[in-house]
Structure 1
């Protein structure tokens, strides 16, 4: 009878432990998605250090040539062009400006893509180009995922649109030891802001950091046991070496 009680007790403890583990690990378990609050909008806002590719098109192809400059590489030995010409890119400087052909310095930092296109259209038409079509692309749009994930690293995003869940997917998902409340670091108005997102809750879809912006950093913290194991493994060699030295000293002194 006593043995049966022990088995039942062990089963109960195991069940409770399993439930607790599941609550700490499984995504989207806490609540239902409130569609009225879901963050479905995304807007790219240009920032300092963005590298922009700006293409100007119009019916008059000659009129747009000065605004679609191309760059080529030159051989050091022959001083002749090598490779295919690439379209000129424009780096937004620390003050938020680019230096655009003919038009000069234009402030694009802080503008959305729509606002920047409208600005360029107003500058170009009708004096330089009639009814221009303008496309702006960030060529260095990237995000970084660090911490307790399978493949941490920096990832380039060609279409400039990525959610925090997609970023976690690019990094191979969280390890089992990764805490499910992750952190997004973002530079806004010359300040670093932090956003906490609990992947166990459907509230993650309502976060202002659900869609990542260029240069965002996603950090996954390891749980306590994983951190302790890492610290233990790091110091094990030191303890063994120290123990060997102490044993050697004792052996010498007791001879």
Structure 2
């Protein structure tokens, strides 16, 4: 009788254990990090909100390109609050409407390419030897699923790795599936889907190691958690059946 009880308890204990190999990050696949080809770069996309600053020794020449965005009070028709840096929304055609110059197609360009294009448009007709800074004001990534703090996170620096994004979300729960993380990314007119494995060092060479604006990272539940959720409503029934079986075994073995 005692042997049967010990066997049942052992099975329950083993079923509740989590293997270290299923949760330890970067344990598989040795790689040469020096050969990683996933260098970081920002590519501008529709719906990006850009802050563009033009600097020059001639302050008067750059004023038309650094106009503040002011909000007016409907009651007084006066400026409400402090004017903020003007921002430019890239439309669905990849264009912004820039002062004096007009339509500029920045969608699909890297930051360096966009700065080069602006330099060509401005120098020397409008501004001589300008210094141009461009940043995305609404750069954000979303982390969903089996993590501590799912949500959407604004990234001021525009540079974030998938590991840093998971860190912002408080890391995976113990029940999060580490070897099948899904990253959804908009590239041009289509959505692309990538899978990454936190258990493998190959994550450092993944094309989604550096996240881009509006990327979505999804962590699914592991099989044990999913099965537990599916059978949780029958737990009471299983406990009752187990108790009855143990009682019957006790009677029969007297």
TM-score (norm 2): 0.83
Deviation at 1:126, TM superposition (A): 0.6
Matched, 1:228 2:231: no
Q: Which aligned segments of 4 or more residues in structure 1 are displaced greater than 6 angstroms?
A: 12-20
Q: 2:104 aligns with which of 97, 103, 106?
A: 106
Q: In structure 2, what is the equivalent of residue 204 of structure 1?
A: 203
Gapped regions of structure 1 (runs ≥ 5): 237-255
Q: Check 1:191–1:118 CA distance in 2 against 1; reply closer, same or farther (3 A cut).
A: same
Provide the secondary structure at the position in 1 that maps to 2:119: helix
Contact kept? 2:29, 2:201, Cα under 8 Å:
yes
Cα-Cα RMSD? 2.9
Deviation at 1:231, TM superposition (A): 4.0
Q: For this pair of structures, how many residues does the alignment match?
A: 233
Contact kept? 1:39, 1:205, Cα under 8 Å:
no
Q: Mapping of 1:100-249 within 5 angstroms?
A: 100-181=98-179, 182-232=181-231
Per-residue Cα deviation, 1:55-95 (whole angstroms, up to 9, x for no partner): 00000000000111111111221111111111110000000
Provide the secondary structure at the position in 1 that maps to 2:225: helix
Deviation at 1:125, TM superposition (A): 0.4
Matched, 1:30 2:28: yes
Per-residue Cα deviation, 1:104-131 (whole angstroms, up to 9, x for no partner): 0000000000000000000000101000
CA distance in 2, matches of 1:123, 1:169: 41
Provide the secondary structure at the position in 2 that maps to 1:90: strand
Gapped regions of structure 2 (runs ≥ 5): 236-254
Provide the secondary structure at the position in 2 that maps to 1:36: helix
Moved more, 212-221 or 225-234: 225-234
Q: In structure 1, what is the equivalent of residue 94 of structure 2?
A: 96
Q: In structure 2, what is the equivalent of residue 253 of structure 1?
A: none
Provide the secondary structure at the position in 2 that maps to 1:122: helix
Contact kept? 2:33, 2:204, Cα under 8 Å:
no
